[in-house]
Amino acid sequence: MQRRRFIAGFGGVAAAVTGKPGTLLSQEPLDTGITGARAWRIRYVTRDVNDVAHEASGLVIAPAGPGENRPIMTWCHGTTGLGDAGCPSAQPDPARELITYFEPRATQQIDYGVPGLQGFIDDGWVVCATDYQGLGTPGMHQYVVNRTNGRDGVFAAHAARSLEAGAGTNLGCAGWSQGGGAAATVAELDAEDYGDLKLIGTVAMSPGVSKIALENPSGVTAALTDPAVPPDSHLVMMLAGIQAANPSALNLSEAFTPLGVEIIETAWNTQPVHHLNDTVARLFRLKGPVLNPAPPNFDEWKAAIIAGSAAARKPVAPVLVCIDSFDGGTVVPVSWQTGYVDAVRAFGGTVETRDYPRDDHFSLPQSCVADARNWLNALL
């Protein structure tokens, strides 16, 4: 895999993308082991939090037979990385049920696939699975910029309507972890983002909502307040992703030491999340700090993080939050998950919660997806 090097804060300027968001740029039929389904890998036009146009890739999986006005479910995946090494649709047999990195049978370095995919196809849904901008397309991925990621999911649904998949206008969404934050934002977008799509509901599984994480430092964000803690790769990627979304306003050398700059510049496109985490932890111990303690302009960074976050307004449709509460939440703390719920309810949003006390972060999607699918089906 060729490494693309960023310039001027690593963001650089990606090739200009033209066309209305949701415009289908290309389609490629794919084999799938899902019974009664056909699949495509697609490229399409999307827009980020600042309305900059990007190219994104992803999958569409639909029932094989003829049909029309089928509901669309757009899946927002969890953390994979900052660049092409984290592209779900580029993995072997991508149009499949979810397999996670932490399963003994896993052979790849990232989680990929869609939980409950066979059930959604059997129930007559057209399923979209965005890669998000930057994962498989030019530029650095805007990691945990919830509004960018959510738009990627909705514009994938628009693109799916250009395929011979029988996709209608009813839209449901589900997402996990990073994608849980994206799924939350899918219910907070502008009317023009939905266009003729009607959002019926969205399911946030262990949602990673950037504003909530910032306001409640713990776990993966501990290094923001304790320089003795090696920064987790999720935090490193969050800072890199917010700079990628705001390249003219923020510079990574403000938040990162020269060592941190070197790590990101070298590894962003070739090391997926867990590989990057090991690299950061090792070099922190060997060579010293990766983050600059208390950068003087961190208020500007916080403002940019909040501007791209979910939990910013009342959702336009019902939200179901599935909480993994085993051991207090093993990646996304339970306090972050319930903090999102509290924030949205304060806006007057309709939010249901379901608790899964025997599930950690990585078993949650398989355990809750049947409930999620039944909930979405009931909303139809």
Q: What is the pLDDT of residues 321-352, one digit of tens each?
A: 999 999 999 999 999 999 999 999 999 999 99
Nearest to 45 by CA among 60, 29, 25, 26: 25
pLDDT at residue 12 in the model: 40
Question: What pLDDT score was predicted for residue 14?
Answer: 54
pLDDT band for position 144 (cuts 50, 70, 90): very high
The rounded mean pLDDT for the chain is: 94
- State the pLDDT at residue 16: 72
pLDDT at position 13, please? 44
Q: What is the pLDDT of residue 10?
A: 37
Q: Tens of pLDDT along 204-249?
A: 999 999 999 988 877 777 788 787 888 999 999 999 999 999 999 9
177 with 340: CB under 8 angstroms?
A: no
Strand ranges in 183-227 using DSSP code E only, listed in sequence order = 198-205
pLDDT at 1 over 70: no
**How many Å apart are CA 158 and CA 255, to the nearest integer?**
37
Q: Which of 342, 333, 334 is nearest to 310 (CA)?
A: 342
Average pLDDT over residues 195-202: 98
Bridge partners for 29 per DSSP: 40
Residues written for the chain: 380
- Share of residues in the chain with pLDDT > 90 (%): 89
Residue 237's CB: how many other CB atoms inside 10 A? 30
CA distance 377 to 380: 5
Q: What's the CA gap between 161 and 163, in Å, rounded? A: 5
Rounded CA separation 278/236 (Å): 12
For the segment 35-61, the average pLDDT, to the nearest whole number, is: 98
Pairing of strands 167-176, 198-205: parallel
The stretch 346-362 carries a mean pLDDT of 98
Residues 107 and 81: their CA atoms lie apart, in Å, by: 17
CA distance linking residue 247 with residue 253, whole number of Å: 12
Average pLDDT over residues 152-156: 98
Q: What is the pLDDT of residue 227?
A: 79
Closest Cα to residue 274, out of 232, 239, 331, 245?
232
Determine the pLDDT at residue 223: 85
134 within 8 A of 5, measured Cβ to Cβ: no
Query: If you average pLDDT over residues 134-156, what whole number do you get?
Result: 98
6 pLDDT higher than 60: no
What is the average per-residue pLDDT within 23-38? 98
Say how far residue 13 (Cα) sits from the centre of its chain: 22
